[in-house]
Amino acid sequence: MEINWLHDFIAVASTRSFSRAAEQRNTSQPALSRRIKALELWAGAALFERTTHAVSLTSAGEAFRLTAEDVIRRLSSGRLEAQELARGSSDVLKFASTNALSLTFFPDWLRGIETALSFVPNVQLVANHMEACERMLLAGEVHFLLCHHHPAAVTALATSHFRSVHVGNDCLIPASVPASKSDKAPRFKLPGTEAAPVQFLSYRSESGMGKILEAVRSTSPLQPQLKPAFTSHLAKLLVTMVQAGRGMAWLPESLILDQLASGELVRAGGRGWEIPIEIHVFRPKSRLTPAAEAFWKHVQAHPPKSTTQKPERVRRRRSQRPTPPARS
């Protein structure tokens, strides 16, 4: 059995597509299919159900996936630790973070923790969309994953192999440009009608916020009439497109505080349309390096002070805002 077979297996299991997995693994589809068949022969069981239009895991495949991910993660983690010790760099902390949080939350959060640590860590951060960040943590390429979290959204990080800590809060706010300079009502207003659906800027399926939004909308009694107009996995790009008047989008509050304060953006609906979300740090349950374990111990010991805690930069901005007039 070859380690690359396990990587191939995880790619197919994640994408549910041999063609997409082959692209992800930078190989041809026939070559990947041959390696998957070799893995199934080694395992002594069919791992995938193959039909003309779909690929799904068998019950044996579902069970084997957890083992394969754990093996890959432990090997990668051990290799990283050996490399760091050989270089004398035992203070390295490797993070994956979703794009939005790498800009709005991570810098202040890390600064607050570093002041309390007994060592100065060598921090390495990779920012990407949620699926890519999950793959890095699953593969053992990083120690921690910082991301938005909502209990309704499914994650690839099984609780049997990963744990998480709640470290902050955010909120997805439906946002639009105002109707005009003199009229601060939203140009694109929820819920819309069948005759005039609201122009909607959405997240791609690999986005964590996209998964959260779809999971919450699928169970919400509020059913807006939306007309998709643009899609991206980058929340920052959606902010730019909303500012350009292309439609409305559910945007993280931490990313649009300045625009909301200045009136450049306004809420596209009432408070009932907002989606409170948490910020979590994930790690594997298996042992990490001493530096990573020390960092984790501090994070566990210092949870958010309240359910409304925001990043320091967010709190500073809010304290500087003028008091809004009372609503009638």
With respect to residue 110, please indicate whether it lies within any of the assigned structural domains.
Answer: yes
Domain holding 254: CATH number?
A: 3.40.190.10
Q: Which of 47, 68, 89 is the last residue of a domain?
A: 68
26: containing domain = 3-68
pLDDT for 325 beyond 60: no
CA distance 273 to 191: 9
The rounded radius of gyration (Å) of the Cα atoms in the chain is 22
Query: Same domain, yes or no, for 284 and 270?
Result: no
With respect to residue 323, please indicate whether it lies within any of the assigned structural domains.
Answer: no
Query: Same domain, yes or no, for 29 and 86?
Result: no
Q: Which of 23, 50, 68 is the last residue of a domain?
A: 68
Query: Same domain, yes or no, for 176 and 273?
Result: yes
Band of residue 161 on the pLDDT scale cut at 50, 70, 90: confident
Query: Same domain, yes or no, for 138 and 190?
Result: no
Query: Same domain, yes or no, for 97 and 189?
Result: no
Contact (Cβ atoms closer than 8 angstroms) between residue 220 and residue 172: no
Confidence (pLDDT) at 115: 87
With respect to residue 328, please indicate whether it lies within any of the assigned structural domains.
Answer: no
Cα–Cα nearest to 107, from 130, 125, 129, 128: 125
Query: Same domain, yes or no, for 200 and 253?
Result: yes
Confidence (pLDDT) at 217: 92
Query: Same domain, yes or no, for 272 and 282?
Result: no
- Grouping H, G, I as helix, E, B as strand and the rest as coil, residue 266 is strand
The residue ranking higher by pLDDT, 321 or 224, is: 224
With respect to residue 327, please indicate whether it lies within any of the assigned structural domains.
Answer: no
CA–centroid distance for 132 within its chain: 9
Band of residue 57 on the pLDDT scale cut at 50, 70, 90: very high
Band of residue 326 on the pLDDT scale cut at 50, 70, 90: very low
Query: Same domain, yes or no, for 296 and 243?
Result: no
With respect to residue 325, please indicate whether it lies within any of the assigned structural domains.
Answer: no
Q: Which of 52, 68, 84 is the last residue of a domain?
A: 68
Cα–Cα nearest to 200, from 226, 225, 235: 226
Domain holding 18: CATH number?
A: 1.10.10.10
Q: CA triplet 141, 105, 286: central angle to 5 degrees?
A: 30
pLDDT for 313 beyond 70: no
**What's the N-to-C CA distance of the chain in angstroms?**
70
Query: Same domain, yes or no, for 165 and 282?
Result: yes
Query: Same domain, yes or no, for 211 and 85?
Result: no
Contact (Cβ atoms closer than 8 angstroms) between residue 33 and residue 2: no
Confidence (pLDDT) at 324: 43
Query: Same domain, yes or no, for 162 and 203?
Result: no
Query: Structure pTM?
Result: 0.75
Confidence (pLDDT) at 306: 55
Task: Tell me the per-residue pLDDT of 65-95, one tens digit each, with 9 for 90 and over.
Answer: 988 988 888 888 787 777 767 766 568 899 9
With respect to residue 130, please indicate whether it lies within any of the assigned structural domains.
Answer: yes
With respect to residue 29, please indicate whether it lies within any of the assigned structural domains.
Answer: yes
Q: Give the relative orientation of helices 3-15 and 130-138 as an angle to the nearest 10 degrees.
A: 150
Omega of the bond leading into 121 within 30 degrees of 0 (cis):
no
Query: Same domain, yes or no, for 28 and 112?
Result: no
CA distance 100 to 130: 10
With respect to residue 326, please indicate whether it lies within any of the assigned structural domains.
Answer: no
Task: Tell me the per-residue pLDDT of 246-305, one tens digit each, with 9 for 90 and over.
Answer: 999 999 999 999 999 999 999 999 999 999 999 999 999 888 888 899 999 999 998 887
Total of domains in the chain: 3
